Amino acid sequence: VIAIIAILAAMLLPALSNAREKARAISCMNQERQLGLAMITYATDNDDQLPKGPCRETSNVEANRHFAWTMRADFIADFNIGALVTYVGAQGENPKVMLCPSDKGEILGGGRLSRPGTRNFSYSINHQINRGDCGGGTISAMKMTQIRRPSDRIMLFEEKAPNDGYCVWNSADDHMTDRHSGKANFIYCDGHYGSSTHDQVWSRWELCDLTVWNDDQ
């Protein structure tokens, strides 16, 4: 009897593990979609301009206009003073909505960090949303009306560790994660969601290139 139970357990455990991961991936997708809709609503309320990407703390940068305010003295993002907090109702500097349930992250100094300057959340904006010099405080963000075919352009990614707040889709080391069975979730500029591998996105560069103005792409 014990042997039979052991065999059954060996057969069932992988299926249970897969089911749990699928549930986490769905939860992650819902959280990221909530953030994407918050970005679109923010743009509606702010002359069509999207929130800027995470930026270094300087006197010339407006904290409440950024996707998440980062680079405090302890290198932890404080979402409570970021652009989207009033749209998602998140509380605390490390809100649940910013963390994918499958993102284990690295733990250093009590925070989800892998090196100084990285951010304590799972999601990143498409780096092309930002315009200007972040370090110099002259950064701005794209307007929704500047994005042609928003249903075919990715706005939010799940970034692999270390997450620096920007996902550079064609970078060798600053791109999407593969935490969901080799895939990552992402949100398009019109608010709908998708899931794919990094290689699949890489092969369709037009999905990420917000500078593309040709409607035939």
Q: What is the pTM of this model?
A: 0.78
pLDDT value of position 115 = 46
Residue 172, both tokens: 């060798």
- Distance between CA 208 and CA 156 in Å, rounded? 10
Residue 63 lies in a domain: yes
Average pLDDT value for residue range 4-10: 68
Tally of structural domains, the chain: 1
Residue 113 pLDDT: 41
Q: Is residue 160 in some structural domain? A: yes
| Residue 8 covered by a domain | no
User: Between residues 208 and 162, which one has the greater pLDDT?
Assistant: 208
111-125 tens-digit pLDDT: 444 444 455 678 888
Question: For residue 216, what are the contacts with CB-CB under 8 A and spacing of at least 6?
Answer: none
The answer to whether residue 8 scores a pLDDT higher than 70 is no
Mean pLDDT confidence for 56-83: 64
Nearest to 100 by CA among 188, 24, 178: 24
Q: What is the pLDDT of residue 157?
A: 87
For residue 189, tell me if it sits in a domain.
yes
Q: Mean pLDDT lowest for which of 52-61, 70-79, 117-126, 140-149?
A: 70-79
Q: Does 107 fall in a domain?
A: yes
93 belongs to a structural domain: yes
Q: Is residue 17 part of a domain?
A: no
Q: Give residue 71's domain range.
A: 22-207
Q: Give 74-125 pLDDT, tens digit per residue.
A: 555 667 778 888 888 766 555 778 888 888 765 444 444 444 445 567 888 8
- Outline where 161-217 has alpha helix (H): 198-203
Question: Is residue 16 included in any domain, yes or no?
Answer: no
Query: How far, in Å, CA of 106 to CA of 33, rounded?
Result: 24
What is residue 14's predicted lDDT score, i.e. its pLDDT?
A: 63
User: Nearest CA to 24 among 182, 183, 201, 180?
Assistant: 180
